[in-house]
Amino acid sequence: MEEPLTPPLEVGAAIEESPARFRFQTFSSLRYADYRYLWTGTLLMSAGQWIQQVTLGWLLYDLTNSSVLLGALNGLRALPFLIFGPIAGVAADRMDRRGLLLSNQYVLLLTTLGMGGLVASGWLEVWHLFLFTFITGIAWSFSDPARQSLVPNVVPKEDLMNAVALHSSGFNLMKVVGPSVGGLLIAWFGAADNFFVQSAAYLGVLVTIYLMHVPPTPAMSANLREGLSYVWASPIVLALMITALVPRIFAVPYQTLMPVFQKDVLGVGPEGLGMMLAAPGVGAVLSTLMLASVAHTLRRKGLLLLGGLILLGIFLILFSQATSFWPAIGLLVGVGACQVLFMATTNTMLQLIVPDALRGRVMSIYMLDRGLMPVGALMAGVTAHFIGAPATVWMMGSVVILLAVVVAWRVPLLREIET
């Protein structure tokens, strides 16, 4: 039996609308004070994460000159989402979500300050980088489901897609800006000061959490089995999970192959690689701003999701055949735009459909995609070794299109959903 498409919770008590300072629909969610705090915190969290990622990679390679260890460090960053993500979902449903965010933020702040002091002291060793990555990965794996679950508590149903899109735009903006800023900070001030900059960002996040006013999560006996059973028993929710997780394994890891396209297909230098890696982020930001602007007029979100998947597959196939640099850049912008379009729509539909009592667990399952991406990257690399990068990306695009067709055929109600 399909789950009813009704608002999963009462939001009136949690939402306080500020005076009409934001008149454009693109930023309509920002008129709610608590959402502004949540969005600002997400922006600062994302900035800190990207600066940290650049800094850790630079330090590790400077110490070891080992690309193998670089890959291991990136894999370790994703591992906590696989191990602790489902447990974090249970915690987000069983504990007070605001309190959970506060405790995790203190862990991030204190460990980052400690890491900065360790780097500045000159006592840094390789194992410190791995331990720090694992600890902060655990904190993020607990923080992200709780933060996502709070969005419907601070905006009403009609502004939910706008809020999700703006959340995504903030993350993708930092994805474009953060690595560049991190590199510049290392060049100007050194790696140790980068950790203190991250600590300042995390302190800002802590302030935004204290400023938020949201109703406490009711105490309940939550368990993971109940969340998994709910996903399995609801055809629409299961279809949304499949459309979220499958592309993360079979399509999104196209980014792993960018150095191959840069050197062997397009024949450009490292500056070209930087533009190729940034292009999807540019498309993602443009897509989320567009989605935020028209969110109030979109009712058939299921069709939007399927359309985004199909367009993602088409852009991947076209990119796989590109032999000139600038057309390839334009296609990568399209890839990033369509990727975020279906991801933001999937997130919005889950937030609308899933009851508040189950939202933390369902969102933690949804976020398993972060832990699965290294598996997809490995598969992409192995496949490209045997059949080449262009053929691999062509296959990725075909898998995404096939997925959209199968989901539309097997779950027809998804096409007809109006929210």
Q: Give tens-digit pLDDT for 95-136.
A: 788 888 999 999 999 999 999 999 999 899 999 999 999 999
**pLDDT greater at residue 270 or residue 390:** 390
In residues, how long is the chain?
Answer: 419
Q: In this structure, which long-range contacts are made by residues 414-418, counting pairs with CB atoms below 8 Å and at least 24 apart in sequence?
A: 414/236, 414/239, 414/240, 414/302, 414/305, 414/306, 415/300, 415/302, 415/303, 415/306, 416/300, 416/302, 417/5, 417/236, 417/300, 417/301, 417/302, 417/349, 418/5, 418/299, 418/300, 418/301
Q: Give tens-digit pLDDT for 325-380.
A: 999 999 999 999 998 888 888 888 888 888 877 888 888 888 777 777 777 877 88
How many angstroms separate the CA atoms of 259 and 70, rounded? Answer: 15
Burial of 127 (0-12, 13-18, 19+ CB in 10 A): exposed
Q: Give tens-digit pLDDT for 215-254.
A: 776 655 566 778 788 888 888 888 888 888 888 888 888 8
Complete domains list, the chain, with CATH:
26-222 (1.20.1250.20), 223-419 (1.20.1250.20)
